[in-house]
Chains A and B, each alone.
Chain A
Amino acid sequence: MLTGSVGEHGRNIRADVVKVQQALKSHGGDVGAVDGACGRQTIAAIRAFQSHFMSQRDGLVEPGGATWRRLSADKGLHEGAKSYTTSVLKTSLGAFNPGLSAVNNKLMTQWFGTPRASYGVDCQPVTNAVLAKNMVVASVGALHVQGLSPAVASLRTVVAEIQTRYPDLYALLGTAGMLCCRYQRGSSTAISNHSWGTAIDLKIAGVLDTRGDGKVQYGLTLIAPIFNKYGWYWGAGFHTEDAMHFEGGRALTESWKNQLV
């Protein structure tokens, strides 16, 4: 379902543009990268599609309008079909995190020490000298991150494979942060797993998967096996589902402690 119009003089909300681009592409349209940006190529593809049934092509796809009805019917996406941000039930997924287990505060402290002496509700800098020396700021594909050096290196491998296997999805990936030293929300003892720079939260088309609702964005179900392949644990497996969250699994994270300088 579109929430706003897409195309010439349209509202062009990113998630809607993605849906239209995906639909155009499934109909053989030349939209270039599915990136959520409505540029000249997307508008040209809309006009080209409209040429099959409209004498006055306006280059605009409106919710419920003739162009969207045709785009979302037939061989293309249909209403309710899986765009990358569409939620699917976690219970409908097969096995994930095979052979992997999550880390916890105790293990992380044992392997890496405490990132800081004190914590608050906001992200604060790492003060542990060894950890601080091993934090890097890097562009990993389209993701701009700050994290523990070996974790960022591993993330680079994961993201490269996502780019190869799902280039459209890769173009939509964003991050809600990697390193963040703080207490878990509502706690004055438990530290966020982001405090060591070994976890990352991802967005698809700017949308964060809602934590704890038992549903996960379809796009996350596609990339989770890639993260798993390289030893990353998917937060969908937590007691409270957190599907936008990925972190080094226990074995992988333990291997990182020996890579610190």
Chain B
Amino acid sequence: MGVCFRIGIAGIALALAVLASPAKAECRAEPVHGWSDEEARWVGPCAANQADGYGVIKQIRAGAVQEIYYGRVEKGKAVLGVVETPDGMIAGRWSRGEVQETSDRNELLSAFAAAEKAADTVREGFARQGNSASAQFYKRKAQILRQQLD
């Protein structure tokens, strides 16, 4: 069952499209980067009612997307990926919703690779649904994430 919700622009826009989520309503993902529980919305594969696999967790506040986590999630918890904020990107391994600060470039490359794969996975889901606007949005995000580190 798909869940439809509208997202808007807050400050620096993170999203422009009206997105339809392919995730199940009961699929839970834990918040990252200080978001509240109610703000976190998962788009991606689900196992035992928990987010599991490559996908995105969106922070929805007052109906608008504020930040987006792209990456791998295990049993509802973010483990490797990137949070896109209006100020830039926060990348690395994640534990208990917080990034593990690192200057290890291979680890950062892994985080961006996971983020790119997540954006591409979500793009595929929207493309299958015929939602070309959202598919295009995540295609562009995958490209940005791929090219962040030279």
> What is A's interface to B at a CB cutoff of 8 Å?
1, 3-4, 11-13, 15-16, 83, 85-87, 121-123, 143-145, 174-177, 180, 182, 184-186, 192-194, 201, 206-213, 217, 240, 242, 245
A210 in contact with B146 (CB, 8 Å) = no
Instruction: Report which of B34, B67, B146, B149 forms a contact with A201, defined as CB distance below 8 A.
Output: B149
Q: Which of B21-29, B69-77, B103-111 contacts A (4 or more CB under 8 A)?
A: B103-111
B109 in contact with A123 (CB, 8 Å) = yes
B74-114 vs A, CB cutoff 8 Å, 1 = contact: the mask equals: 00000000001111111100000001010111101100010
Q: A87-B88, A211-B147, A212-B144 are in contact. Are A206 and B34 (CB under 8 A)?
A: no
Instruction: Report which of A87, A122, A184, A213 forms a contact with B109, defined as CB distance below 8 A.
Output: A122
Complex CA distance for A192 and B148, rounded to whole angstroms:
12
Instruction: Report which of B34, B99, B147 forms a contact with A16, defined as CB distance below 8 A.
Output: B34
Instruction: Report which of B66, B87, B105, B146 forms a contact with A185, defined as CB distance below 8 A.
Output: B146
B101 in contact with A208 (CB, 8 Å) = no
B148 in contact with A206 (CB, 8 Å) = no
Number of interface residues of B (CB under 8 A): 30
Instruction: Report which of A176, A207, A217 forms a contact with B149, defined as CB distance below 8 A.
Output: A176
- Say yes or no for B33: interface residue by CB 8 A criterion: yes
A210 in contact with B149 (CB, 8 Å) = no
A1 proximity list for chain B (CB < 8 A): 11
| Closest beta carbon of chain A to B94's beta carbon, Å | 12
- Say yes or no for B48: interface residue by CB 8 A criterion: no
A16 proximity list for chain B (CB < 8 A): 34
Count of A-B contacts judged by CB separation below 8 Å? 92
B88 in contact with A3 (CB, 8 Å) = no
Instruction: Report which of A85, A212, A217 forms a contact with B147, defined as CB distance below 8 A.
Output: A212
Q: A85-B88, A207-B89, A210-B144 are in contact. Are A177 and B66 (CB under 8 A)?
A: no
Complex CA distance for A177 and B34, rounded to whole angstroms:
26
| Closest beta carbon of chain B to A202's beta carbon, Å | 10
Chain B, Cβ-Cβ closest to A208: B89
Give the interface centre of A11, A184, A185, A209 by most chain B CB atoms within 10 Å.
A185
- Closest 6 pairs between A and B when the two form their complex, measured CB to CB: A177-B105, A4-B34, A11-B34, A85-B87, A13-B34, A207-B88
Complex CA distance for A87 and B147, rounded to whole angstroms:
19
Complex CA distance for A185 and B113, rounded to whole angstroms:
10
A185 in contact with B147 (CB, 8 Å) = yes
Complex CA distance for A121 and B106, rounded to whole angstroms:
9
- Say yes or no for B12: interface residue by CB 8 A criterion: yes
Complex CA distance for A245 and B34, rounded to whole angstroms:
28
Complex CA distance for A210 and B99, rounded to whole angstroms:
17
Q: A185-B149, A193-B150, A212-B147 are in contact. Are A122 and B87 (CB under 8 A)?
A: no
